[in-house]
Amino acid sequence: VLCKGINGLDKVVLRGTRGSSAEVYLYGGHLTSWKNDHGEELLFLSSKATFKPPKAIRGGIPICFPQFGSHGSLEQHGFARNRFWVIDNDPPPFPTNISNKAFVDLILKPSEEDMKIWPYSFEYRLRIALGPGGDLLLTSRIRNTNSDWKPFSFTFAYHTYFSVSDISEVRVEGLETLDYLDNLQNKGRFTEQGDALTFESEVDKIYLSTPTKIAILDHEKKRTFVLRKDGLPDAVVWNPWDKKAKAMTDFGDDEYKHMLCVEAAAVEKPIILKPGEEWKGRLELSTVPSSYCSGQ
């Protein structure tokens, strides 16, 4: 269903069979809400998010493309998150083995203005699907549509803001012992210790070549988020903590306690596409009761 969201911006609402739902704004191709069968919100969205272009929406799942972070000449996290996407009303069907999903396909193509800052022609198809069990599936297909010889390279992230009850009670499993780059320290590679990650200060790390499955355990909620990713070797973990939170105008001073970004990403090794080639990056999000997943 297409309807008007905050500030009259268009949004699509997807409804699962048993009460789950998802909302995506055409502005940014940006998921702002994902609710389970009990109507509980699973994504963090700041109470101060502005919904005013050209600023990206603070929370949900911004799409970072064609550049993650500030590693390049483009604006921070690229421009996909502050462009208007369009709905494909005649999308290709799902493969038959994953039917029974509510889904929408959004398309982004560069405008003439975009091509002045990033001189490549591409078609980006973002499929957002809600499974019968309330799981969320995001599939990005990016195609190089240059008619000449021009290849392009890009970095990417699904900048997912998870809603958590209390950041100091949260654990992330699946990233221990891995190498990472640290945005808060000078250049270099670091190695994570053997324990699951816990949080007691600002964190802004890019874990490299991670397993495809990562779990976020929220003890207070007795809920575990499970991320499964494909085509996205890296994972960014970010929480601004108190000082950076205060410095952001579209983020409440204490909201850092109730969010954690774990972002399926391709950062260290840019993806290179020749004309006609397509890249696919998938992210599947689901939840399970904590006791079930703990220790796996």
Site mask for ligand BG6 (CB under 6 A), range 98-137, x = bound: ----------------------------------------
The closest of 230, 277, 261 to 68, measured between CA atoms, is 261
Is 123 a catalytic site residue?
A: no
Is 113 a catalytic site residue?
A: no
Q: Of the ranges 34-42, 69-77, 107-115, 146-154, which one interacts with ligand BG6 (CB under 6 A)? A: 69-77
DSSP assignment of 172-203 equals EES-TT-EEEETTS-SSEEE--SSPB--SS-E
Q: Does 82 bind ligand BG6 (CB under 6 A)?
A: no
If one counts every other C-beta atom within 10 angstroms of the C-beta of residue 276, the result is: 10
**Which of 180, 238, 256, 279 touches ligand BG6 by CB under 6 A?**
238
The closest of 47, 39, 5 to 24, measured between CA atoms, is 5
The closest of 268, 227, 49, 26 to 128, measured between CA atoms, is 26
Q: What is the largest CA-CA distance in the chain?
A: 55
**Which of 69, 78, 174, 233 touches ligand BG6 by CB under 6 A?**
69
Q: How far is the CB of 236 from ligand BG6 (least distance, A)?
A: 5
Residues facing 27 on adjacent strands: 84
Rule CB under 6 A: which of 151-210 touch ligand BG6?
159, 183, 204
Q: Does 77 bind ligand BG6 (CB under 6 A)?
A: yes
Binding residues (CB under 6 A) for ligand BG6: these are 56, 69, 76-77, 159, 183, 204, 236, 238, 263
Residues carrying an active site annotation: 159, 263
